[in-house]
Structure 1
Amino acid sequence: MPQGNLNLTILIGANTPRPAPTKLTEAIDSLMIIYRDSGRSGFQIVFRVGRSTPADLQDDPLLRGSEEQLLLPFNRVIVTMTLNSQPRVLLDGIITFHEFAPSLELGESIFTITGEDVGVMMDLEEKSIEHPELNDKTIVETLITQYGKYGLVPKLSTPQWSERPLNTERVPVQLGTDLAYIQELANRHGFVFYIKPGAVTGQNIAYWGSPDRAAVPSKPLTFNMGSFTNVDTINFQYDGLAATKVVGQVQDRKTNQIQAVSQTSSQRSLFSREPALTTQSHIRTTQFRQSARLATQASAYAQAKVDQSIDRVITATGEVDTLTYGDLLQAGGTVDLRGVGYTYDGRYYVNEVTHEIRQGDYKQRFVMTREGVGTTRSSVNV
């Protein structure tokens, strides 16, 4: 699908994906890819099909023969995009769903495949298993390494609080799929877990850690600055109920002493001059209600809840034309915004990017967040 300075290459197959045949690529009407820093990422490819020759009397061309075998559920799809002579892996996913909408008009039938990132293969089998004498980080690494055939490379952070329990104390138990358990452990520590394509075709980065606010920012987003403008639309929302303090008590399971739990500030690096947690007139306060914890463990878990609460005080949504922008936004990365004004300019963490591609048109929709208003940056690198 060539488009100006942009070209897409598609690999598809059951085990080792290979270049898609011309008949398949020429039938593509549109491609949508969604990457999120938490939850499920996925894709959808729409094909225009139709029966136009005697050989098509029995079925539409893409629904029979070798093309049909390529589009079967659980086949792997890899899309590489070359933008301004720089190749990047845009998608590495697994087909999970089909939809066929026949039409009376010649060539107007629609065949759609939908799928998720390769992490869906970690979500197929519910398990009831123990992980004796392993801390949370080691458990996550152990689970991820079982999916080496999908090129998963762990990129894991060490939690603020970590424990390797003895069998005589307790045994961590997994009740659910590998993916669900990894996400549960991430939430416990205020972490995110997501899978994104690596720099090499067939490689995927499995990230488990705090939102990467130290990531090198993408090319700046520019609004209402004449010829420098690259943002088509943008909207901001301020949630005054998001930021939260956590207080309470816990009975230390080793000393049996009642200990106070109080976390009222965030350990996230700040992108705003006026963080909601410290500048709002009113802040929500929740009770720490977990039991059978060590005092240090309870404090760390409370801190994770506070950190998570500030992540979406400000939410910005918008859209850019990719050829005008000249770069790709990265979910799980950062980006600087200019041209909107002091209140909302500055650096943001990118939570979600949706790529919408069709012949002659490539848009990126984005969701990005931070903890308050007011820019902390006087300039950006262009």
Structure 2
Amino acid sequence: MGLLDQLLDPGFRQAASVEILVGSAKTDIGSLAALVSSIEVRAARMEATSATITIDDRRDTNGDYMAADAGLFARWETIVINADFQTHIDEVFRGYIMELKPSYPQNGGEAKLVIECLDDSAALSREHQRKVWGDETAPMTDRAIVEELIKPLPLKLLDGPDGASARALTQDSTPIALLQDRAKANGFEMIFERGEVYFGPKRLEADPQAPIMVYAGSATNCLNFAVSDEANKPDVVAWEKAPATDGAEAVTGEAFADLPLLGKYPAASEGAGLGTPAIARIKGEGDETEDEIEARAQGMVNEASFRIKANGELDGTLYGHVLRVGGTVTVDGVGARNGGVYYVDTVTHQFSPDGYRQQFQLIRNAVGETEAVGAAPLSPILSAIQNLF
């Protein structure tokens, strides 16, 4: 019996179970499930999601290893990891097998097969491309570039804004590197999950996910929760574009956070009256246009406004859902200041002999509990900050 035998046995339903499906036919790994000792999936809104599956491999009577020689696992084979909550199944990971790492130590009973995986974005890392997107007569939006690059793949691009429009954007990189650069330039997130791609700003006004319950008696699903409330972040990002010609003046501007608040009072309101503004400065890079520099500054100040971070761990079975990055979630039971709506930054899913755990990091740009998801920024506070400059 493997260490994850109970979690992987479809007949055991007192806790969340996990299933692993491999290949285009989504073949269940069957009896190999009893050999799986751990699964870890690391999801982040600013990075590719990765997964590690560890199998305690065993040698059969023919001298072959049950996992390594099964013919199921191969580089670039598709793989899906699901959490089964008895009443419903949620996908935890979808992507490709990137690396197989069998190990055969002196003690044959300790042989293992470790499988490293990356999400669907890995398919966009295979070819270094040189191309020019758009021109002076036919500009091309970043969304159109994303659509073109993912066209060969079975992926759906979710609704979102067009992003910047390129007059002549030169690519000398892999597709995924280009898209990461364009996401940064727009202040966007780019998330690959469940066969879909999201390319756009934080989705702060979407309905919150199932609540995280702390100190809630029998309804408690959170094992621990801690908050870090950082002060030293910029409230403003000032930008500058160098003069286009000799004798001309530089073009300058300032960007203030303009995202909806996840709370009653913006985090920037604390310290706004000190008289010494918290400001960062950037300059244009390469052939960036004025609009591109301004968009980058706006993205930076919006990201900096999320200075409140919370870390914790969910009992996956008690939570009953897969907590997803790039969405909001309500936290209950941590008081009036720290309770309320947060944005999910990272989640690490762990299936082990201890059960299903979800370790998370949440971020927030405001304090105070409120039922209004994505409430509008408080104009008096914003005005107080702007008056410092």
What is the TM-score when the length of structure 1 is the normalising length?
A: 0.84
Paired letter, 1:245: V
Aligned equivalent of 1:37: 45
Q: Does 1:176 align with 2:176?
A: no
Aligned equivalent of 2:300: 305
Q: Residue 342 of structure 1: CA displacement?
A: 1.8
Paired letter, 2:309: T
Aligned equivalent of 1:287: 281
Q: Residue 279 of structure 1: CA displacement?
A: 2.5
1:268 alignment partner, SS class: coil
For residues 226 and 7 of structure 1, do their structure 2 counterparts lie closer, same or farther at Cα, with a shift above 3 Å needed? closer
Aligned equivalent of 1:114: 116
Q: Residue 211 of structure 1: CA displacement?
A: 1.2
For residues 283 and 343 of structure 1, do their structure 2 counterparts lie closer, same or farther at Cα, with a shift above 3 Å needed? farther
1:72 alignment partner, SS class: coil
Aligned equivalent of 1:209: 200
Structure 2: segments with no counterpart, 5+ residues: 1-7, 374-389
Aligned equivalent of 2:341: 347
Aligned equivalent of 2:18: 8
Distance in 2 between residues matched to 1:334 and 1:210, nearest whole Å: 13
For residues 283 and 241 of structure 1, do their structure 2 counterparts lie closer, same or farther at Cα, with a shift above 3 Å needed? farther
8 Å CA contact 1:261–1:302 kept in 2: the answer is no
8 Å CA contact 1:6–1:83 kept in 2: the answer is yes
8 Å CA contact 2:16–2:85 kept in 1: the answer is yes
Paired letter, 2:200: G
Following superposition of structure 1 onto structure 2, how do residues 57-76 of structure 1 map, counting pairs within 5 Å? 59-64=64-69, 67=70, 69-76=71-78
Distance in 2 between residues matched to 1:347 and 1:331, nearest whole Å: 14
Q: Does 1:18 align with 2:26?
A: yes
Q: Does 1:262 align with 2:262?
A: no
CA deviation vs aligned residue, 1:77-131 (integer Å, no higher than 9, x gap): 1123321321222221111122233345564322110111011111122222111
Paired letter, 1:80: N
Paired letter, 1:352: T
2:181 alignment partner, SS class: helix
8 Å CA contact 2:235–2:305 kept in 1: the answer is yes
Structure 1: segments with no counterpart, 5+ residues: 166-170, 198-203
8 Å CA contact 1:137–1:156 kept in 2: the answer is no
Paired letter, 1:61: M
CA deviation vs aligned residue, 1:256-310 (integer Å, no higher than 9, x gap): 66443122x2111111333232322455312231176655554333222211221
Aligned equivalent of 1:137: 143
For residues 36 and 293 of structure 1, do their structure 2 counterparts lie closer, same or farther at Cα, with a shift above 3 Å needed? closer
Match for 2:84 among 76, 82, 85?
A: 82
What is the TM-score when the length of structure 2 is the normalising length?
A: 0.83
8 Å CA contact 1:17–1:76 kept in 2: the answer is no
CA deviation vs aligned residue, 1:142-168 (integer Å, no higher than 9, x gap): 112232xxx210125225x64352xxx
Paired letter, 2:280: T
1:224 alignment partner, SS class: coil
Paired letter, 1:193: M
For residues 258 and 229 of structure 1, do their structure 2 counterparts lie closer, same or farther at Cα, with a shift above 3 Å needed? same
Moved more, 20-29 or 129-138: 20-29
2:48 alignment partner, SS class: coil
Q: Residue 188 of structure 1: CA displacement?
A: 0.7
For residues 252 and 81 of structure 1, do their structure 2 counterparts lie closer, same or farther at Cα, with a shift above 3 Å needed? same
Aligned equivalent of 2:210: 219
Percent identity, aligned pairs only, is 22
Paired letter, 1:266: A
Paired letter, 2:67: L
Kindly report the root-mean-square deviation, in angstroms, between the aligned alpha carbons of the 2 structures.
2.6
For residues 259 and 103 of structure 1, do their structure 2 counterparts lie closer, same or farther at Cα, with a shift above 3 Å needed? closer
For residues 293 and 81 of structure 1, do their structure 2 counterparts lie closer, same or farther at Cα, with a shift above 3 Å needed? closer
